[in-house]
Structure 1
Amino acid sequence: MNSLTDAVLAVLSSTDGEWVVRFTDSRSAALPVTDLAVTRGDAVFETIAFFDGRPQALEKHLKRLASSARKLDMAEPERDLWTSAILAAVAEHPPWPELSVKVVLTRPQAGEDGTVYGWVHVEAAADHSKRRNTGVSIATMSRGVTRAAASEAPWLLMGAKTLSYALNMAATREAHRRGADEALFLSVEGFVMEGPISSVVMRRGNDLLTPDPGIGILEGTTQQDVFAHAPSLGLKPLYVEIHKDELPAMDAVWMLGSGSLALPVYRIDGTDVSTDPEMTGRLNHHLRFGRRA
């Protein structure tokens, strides 16, 4: 197997509460065309990074997977089963410095036999090393919701990680049309939310800031790791409301992701902003080598 091009797929299925795990070729695996994960994106997922064979924030990812399942009125995944399946799938892949592990859980198909499917897909991760050093540019754009939408309209599933990512990908394409690398969502009032596939963290003096998850954003596992590590860096972690107009005055801004780690932002809406190369290096060293599962 060529670890650059090939992948490992573990498929989990349960009809009567008894889960079966089997490995199959990811290029020939099949799902029913009526599966709700395919037809409606009605499923939940997580993407977990493995560095040198070591999982990053595995427990936090599985906890968030369970939270997403609850929000979609799905049965929660069995933690021990999924942990074993993930580790077994990674063990099947040849050793590689950075792996990306996507975990998906579907709901039973109405009118069928009640089988629940899930899968663990392991492949070599995209190379983010250059972006960790040179940084990214971002374009801010409205997500079309108020900062109270999560509490006023819980059926919008804000804060759940579902397969319904068409909006996220559309925002990324819009950012590219504007000449930026990444998008940053805002509430209709102009308050900072999150990126399509990342969390945002800012430094202002000795304060490390991120939006409160209550605004209707996904609670980032990497952001949580950074906040737990912040005091050792002499920084005070704070969940606060941040308006778009405050961004240019920040001492540094980062987009955080499980696989990308901390990407420094050097331009926002076409305007250059301050970066902190030393802190970027310290954050990425911790995320790459210091955090645990």
Structure 2
Amino acid sequence: MSRVVYLNGAWLAEAEAKVSVFDRGFLMADAIYEVTCVLDGKLVEYAGHAARLQRSARELGIVVPLDDEALLAVHREIVARNSLDQGMIYLQLTRGVADRDFAYPPPDTPPTLVLFTQAKNVLENRAAETGIAVSLLPDLRWGRRDIKTIQLLYPSMAKMEAKARGADDAWLVEDGHVTEATAASAHIVTDQDVLVTRDLSHALLPGITRASVLELAARHGIRVEERAFTPEEAKAAREAFITSATNFVVPVTRIDEAAIGEGAPGPLTRDLRRLYVESRRGAAI
């Protein structure tokens, strides 16, 4: 069944949704994106994703063509038009169509806004039950990772290299410290039951799920430290996990050749996943 796609104010069958070859998203990766999870036909953590979209747009000087109310309405409408119960909404905003040039086009150039859906059973995630293995690789991405741009080639390369090594994903390392996974935030739990995650900076994305998990942890009496940690500290951790919009909380049970804890998902990670799903599912709009 063909999906319905939103493109610059029009609702189109996916085969009819076309973007110009002169679009700067296509030519220059001059674009940002957001992924919002859908559960029970409702938007999970929408406010956080909408706010991060606005921040990314401001950092790059791209205009979001819809106001807050209209953007929310489009998200709800695309869920309804595609009868989406579980899955995600992908939003991409580019600077628009212009002749190829390293200089930005005039500020009145209309941006390109696209949204589409992907069905996915986000609740039944086998990795959440078994855990995943990650491989440590150098972080060779550009320096402004706090902006959610579509420059995703190196994360894709890193994930493929990790898979070639027999792992599920990569944790990226820069200046002797872990930054994040290819498309998720990285966390460890020390033998003192302290949840450690990298502090926010230009080096990593301010994850919406990350922020919620840290808030839930603090609320339930779990000590949290936001600081850089080394690969050696990660390998010696009692537990490790990743967080992202559609994976929620997923245990990491192996880093390179080192088993994490007992080599199985730990209790704190399991509790955080349960707390996250229950609280955010109940608050979805």
- How far off its partner does 1:118 sit? 0.3
Of all paired residues, the percent bearing the same amino acid is 23
TM-score relative to the length of structure 1: 0.86
Give every structure 1 segment of 4 or more consecutive aligned residues whose post-TM-superposition deviation is greater than 3 Å. none
Structure 1 contact 70–76 (Cα < 8 Å) conserved: no
Contact 1:51 1:288 in 2 (8 A): no
Distance in 2 of aligned mates of 1:276 and 1:227: 18
Alpha carbons of structure 1 residues 264 and 159: separation in structure 2 relative to 1, 3 Å = same
Structure 1: runs of 5 or more not aligned: 13-20, 146-154
Moved more, 73-82 or 134-143: 73-82
1:142 maps onto 2:138 in alignment: yes
Measured in 2, the distance between the counterparts of 1:71 and 1:195 equals: 23
RMSD: 2.0
Alignment check: 8 A CA contact 1:141 1:185 kept: yes
* 1:34 and 2:30 are equivalent in the alignment: no
For residues 273 and 142 of structure 1, do their structure 2 counterparts lie closer, same or farther at Cα, with a shift above 3 Å needed? same
What is the match of residue 237 of structure 1? 224
Match of 1:119 in 2: 114
Which amino acid is the alignment partner of residue 290 of structure 1?
S
Structure 1 segment 77-226 matched on structure 2, within 5 A: 78-96=67-85, 98-110=86-98, 114-125=109-120, 129-144=125-140, 156-187=143-174, 189-204=175-190, 205-214=192-201, 216-226=203-213
Amino acid in the other structure paired with 1:211: R
Q: Secondary structure at the match of 1:109?
A: coil
Change (3 A) 1:33 1:110: closer
Question: Deviation of residue 91 (structure 1)?
Answer: 1.4
Letter in 1 for 2:120: A
For 1:15, the equivalent position in structure 2 comes to: none
AA matched with 1:104:
Q
- TM value normalised by structure 2: 0.88
Contact 2:239 2:269 in 1 (8 A): no
Cα-to-partner distance string for 1:155-194 (whole Å, 9 max, x where unaligned): 842211111111110110111111110000111x210100
> 2:102 maps to which residue?
none
The alignment covers a number of residue pairs equal to 270
Q: How far apart are residue 231 of structure 1 and its match? A: 2.4
- Within-5 A mapping of 1:14-53: 21-53=9-41
Is 1:11 the counterpart of 2:7? The answer is yes
For the residue of structure 2 that corresponds to 1:214, the secondary structure is coil
Superposed displacement of residue 87, structure 1? 1.0
